[in-house]
């Protein structure tokens, strides 16, 4: 089913496919027309010098059509000497084979952009799908496995399925022409051959039964290897610092060995197709020679006609071998497509039917009895959260790790859908807004700066059509302009993978500049300064103070200096808000959780 789903993409390449089909038809025509040319050649070579060609008794009979062609062609060639007749016949055969191979190349030439185009379209579709999947999907998936589907699985599709597209257009035509010729010579002999071919097909189908399952297992194991590799590259400092080299090597070796074993089984089963097909093919030929020679000896068929029948049968065997090899390849490709479809068929983030435009945030953010649990779990991370943040005010979220602080922000940005209650902007449910409009109202600065292997300018602009002056203005507000100017190429400096060429404070200031350039009405700060040293924290805090002025902010932090000036402080514990108020109000409760938090900060 997936195979035909893939083939349906050919409609986008009608011109290329039509040309390929045309040249495949021409190639098949000249491939088939070669067969009857051998009959007069062989008859001319082996016929006694004095014996004229014998006319068929019933030239209009379908079974004698080939004999009649041989007779007429032989009569024409009889006017030449035997040597010259053989020369003319071989010339025709050479020209016919040249045209066959020319059209074969042209068919492949025009199908090449179709093959590469479908792969491009599939990769593009998969990448676009990844961008619109909800965050919950990535909680259950390894990044390495996703990368494997985007690279290895799609490559497997190209190698294993798209390579048989030309066979779909060419081999059936060759089979039809060759079988028609064989039927014209002897329907009994042809029926005998077809029974033998059917028998070999049953054997090949039985051997390849498990190949698809094993191919899927191999690709899944490769995804696990890529996940380990990705985690190793991103965690090298920790690995070296904790001397965990042997531990990681053992894990990698285990997965690598598992991949070797399953891939060995797949390759052995796949590589069995060609020798098995060849052995069964030669066995059929041997049986055919034994059976056909009896017809020649009994006078039911001439030697030249029988040799031409064998040549036609060879033209049948070659497509059959191609089909058997393609069958193995299709199984591997379908296993890869199954893994790709598991992503493409996932439900994606989308607006509901009642979604409407939302232009500007003007009033308040309201959590109204909000509850949430992560997909696939039963524990509620947020339990009946109710709080309102007026426009221009700052809400600070305080609590131990796992209390639900980051989750409150995630559901506001609709990274996850809440299970109960309502989340409102200006009294409108965020589920009744277009996602694009909702997220346009917000910018987020996370604890771990998210930067890309690109220039400083592109990391700050990040998808926005903006000018260098606007980027510089945002960088100055973020206290980043000075260090950027000292870089080798200034704003055109590439900062490396995840900004590794910069310090932690510099990376964080770039993310703040990115948020400033977006200029959203709502700013979310998730532990934005917790990983910085004192000097970097001071510079980042100054930048944050500038951007937070007259802006609605939600701040997640552990440091007292970051939260004590907030307009509202909410203390979370086990998914519930247990206290809320200003810094001074919360300190009055001597037994409260916030007072204990402040006391710990003062130690």
The Cα-based distances of 555 to 205, 304, 530 in angstroms read 63, 91, 12
Confidence of residue 62 (pLDDT cuts 50, 70, 90): very low
Task: Inform me whether the pLDDT recorded for 214 exceeds 80.
Answer: no
Least confident range from 308-317, 335-344, 428-437: namely: 308-317
Quick one: pLDDT at residue 491? 92
Q: Which residue has the higher pLDDT, 311 or 367?
A: 367
Quick one: pLDDT at residue 387? 94
Strands 522-526 and 420-425: unpaired
- Angstrom distance (rounded) from CA 557 to CA 399: 9
Residue 354's CB is within 10 A of a number of other CB atoms, namely: 9
Q: Report all structural domains of the chain as residue ranges with CATH numbers, in order of start.
A: 2-344 (1.20.1560.10), 364-602 (3.40.50.300)
**3-state DSSP of 360-420:** CCCCEEEEEEEEECCCCCCCCCEEEEEEEEECCCEEEEECCCCCCHHHHHHHHCCCCCCCE
Question: What's the pLDDT tens digit per position in 268-323?
Answer: 777 776 677 677 767 777 877 787 777 777 777 777 677 777 777 777 777 766 66
- Angstrom distance (rounded) from CA 43 to CA 305: 8
* Contacts of 355 by beta carbon, 8 Å cutoff, 6+ apart: 431, 432, 433, 434, 435
Residue 412's CB is within 10 A of a number of other CB atoms, namely: 24
Query: 417, 409, 366: which is closest to 557 by C-alpha?
Result: 409
In terms of residues, how long is the chain? 603
Beta bridge partners of 44: none
Residue 565: its H or E element: none
Task: Inform me whether the pLDDT recorded for 586 exceeds 50.
Answer: yes
What are the backbone angles phi and psi of residue 341, rounded to the nearest 5°? -65, -25
Query: By the 8 A CB rule, do 38 and 93 touch?
Result: yes
- The two most distant CA atoms of the chain are separated, in Å, by 127
Q: How far is CA 587 from the centre of its chain?
A: 55
Strands 420-425 and 428-429: antiparallel
Question: What's the pLDDT tens digit per position in 491-540?
Answer: 999 988 778 888 888 888 888 888 888 888 898 888 766 656 666 667 76
Task: Inform me whether the pLDDT recorded for 61 exceeds 50.
Answer: no
Rg (CA), the chain: 37
pLDDT > 70: percent of the chain: 77
Query: By the 8 A CB rule, do 383 and 371 touch?
Result: yes
- Angstrom distance (rounded) from CA 108 to CA 526: 55
* Contacts of 101 by beta carbon, 8 Å cutoff, 6+ apart: 27
Mean pLDDT of 49-75: 54
- Angstrom distance (rounded) from CA 502 to CA 510: 10
Query: By the 8 A CB rule, do 418 and 391 touch?
Result: no
Q: Across all residues in the chain, what is the average pLDDT?
A: 78
Question: What's the pLDDT tens digit per position in 108-125?
Answer: 888 888 878 878 888 888
- Angstrom distance (rounded) from CA 146 to CA 162: 22
Dihedral sign from CA coordinates of 509, 510, 516, 522: negative
Dihedral sign from CA coordinates of 233, 235, 237, 241: negative
- Angstrom distance (rounded) from CA 406 to CA 413: 11
Question: What's the pLDDT tens digit per position in 450-466?
Answer: 888 889 998 898 878 88
Residue 554 in 3-state DSSP? strand
- Angstrom distance (rounded) from CA 367 to CA 405: 13
Quick one: pLDDT at residue 213? 61
Highest mean pLDDT among 37-41, 148-152, 322-326: 148-152
What are the backbone angles phi and psi of residue 471, rounded to the nearest 5°? -65, -40
Query: 523, 514, 518: which is closest to 460 by C-alpha?
Result: 514
Highest mean pLDDT among 55-69, 128-142, 196-210, 489-503: 489-503
Report residue 82 as tokens.
Answer: 């035997």
Residue 550's CB is within 10 A of a number of other CB atoms, namely: 8
């Amino acid at each position: 089913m997936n195979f035909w789903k893939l083939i349906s993409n050919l409609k986008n390449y009608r011109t290329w496919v039509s040309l390929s089909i045309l040249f495949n038809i021409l190639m098949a025509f000249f491939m088939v027309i070669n067969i009857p040319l051998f009959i007069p050649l062989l008859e001319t070579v082996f016929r006694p010098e004095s014996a004229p060609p014998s006319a068929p008794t019933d030239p209009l009979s379908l079974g004698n059509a080939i004999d009649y062609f041989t007779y007429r062609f032989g009569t024409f060639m009889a006017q030449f000497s035997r040597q010259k007749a053989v020369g003319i016949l071989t010339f025709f055969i050479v020209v016919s084979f040249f045209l066959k191979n020319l059209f074969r190349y042209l068919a492949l030439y025009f199908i090449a952009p179709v093959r590469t185009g479908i792969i491009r379209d599939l990769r593009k579709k998969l990448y676009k799908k990844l961008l619109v999947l909800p965050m919950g999907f990535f909680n259950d998936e390894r990044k390495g496995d996703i990368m494997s589907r985007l690279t290895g699985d799609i490559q497997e599709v190209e190698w294993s399925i798209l390579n048989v597209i030309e066979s779909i257009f060419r081999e059936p035509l060759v089979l039809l022409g060759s079988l028609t010729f064989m039927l014209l010579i002897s329907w009994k002999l042809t029926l005998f051959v077809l029974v033998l071919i059917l028998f070999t097909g049953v054997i090949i189908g039985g051997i390849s039964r498990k190949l698809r399952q094993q191919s899927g297992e191999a690709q899944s194991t490769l995804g696990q290897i890529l996940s380990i590799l990705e985690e190793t590259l991103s965690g090298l400092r920790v690995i070296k610092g904790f001397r965990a080299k042997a531990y990681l090597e053992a894990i990698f070796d285990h997965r690598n060995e598992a991949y070797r074993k399953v891939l060995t089984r797949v390759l052995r089963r796949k590589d069995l197709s060609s020798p098995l097909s060849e052995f069964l093919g030669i066995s059929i030929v041997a049986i055919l020679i034994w059976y056909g020679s009896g017809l020649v000896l009994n006078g039911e068929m001439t030697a030249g006609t029988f040799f031409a029948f064998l040549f036609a049968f060879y033209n049948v065997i070659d497509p059959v071998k191609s089909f058997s090899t393609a069958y193995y390849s299709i199984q591997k490709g379908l296993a890869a497509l199954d893994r790709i479809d598991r992503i493409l068929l996932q439900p994606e983030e989308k607006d509901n039917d009642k979604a409407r435009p939302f232009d500007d945030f003007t009033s308040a953010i309201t959590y109204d009895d909000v509850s949430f649990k992560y997909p696939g779990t039963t524990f509620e991370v947020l339990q009946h959260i109710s709080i309102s943040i007026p426009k221009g005010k700052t809400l600070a979220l305080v609590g131990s790790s796992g209390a639900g602080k980051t989750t409150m922000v995630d559901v506001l940005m609709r990274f996850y859908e809440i299970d109960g209650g309502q989340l409102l902007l200006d009294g409108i449910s965020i589920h009744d807004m277009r996602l694009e409009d909702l997220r346009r109202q917000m910018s987020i600065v996370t604890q771990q700066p998210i930067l890309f292997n690109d220039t400083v300018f592109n990391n700050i602009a990040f998808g926005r059509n903006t000018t260098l002056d606007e980027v510089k203005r945002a960088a100055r507000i973020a206290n980043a302009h000075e260090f950027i100017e000292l870089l080798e190429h200034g704003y055109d400096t590439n900062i490396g993978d995840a900004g590794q060429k910069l310090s932690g404070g510099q990376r964080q200031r770039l993310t703040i500049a990115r948020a400033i350039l977006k200029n959203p009405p709502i700013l979310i700060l998730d532990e934005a300064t917790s990983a910085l040293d004192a000097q970097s924290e001071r510079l980042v805090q100054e930048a944050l103070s500038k951007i937070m002025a007259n802006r609605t902010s939600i701040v997640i932090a552990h440091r007292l200096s970051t939260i004590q000036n907030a307009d509202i402080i909410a203390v979370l514990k086990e998914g519930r808000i247990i206290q809320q108020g200003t810094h001074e109000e919360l300190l009055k409760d001597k037994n409260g959780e916030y007072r204990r938090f402040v006391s710990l900060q003062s130690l």
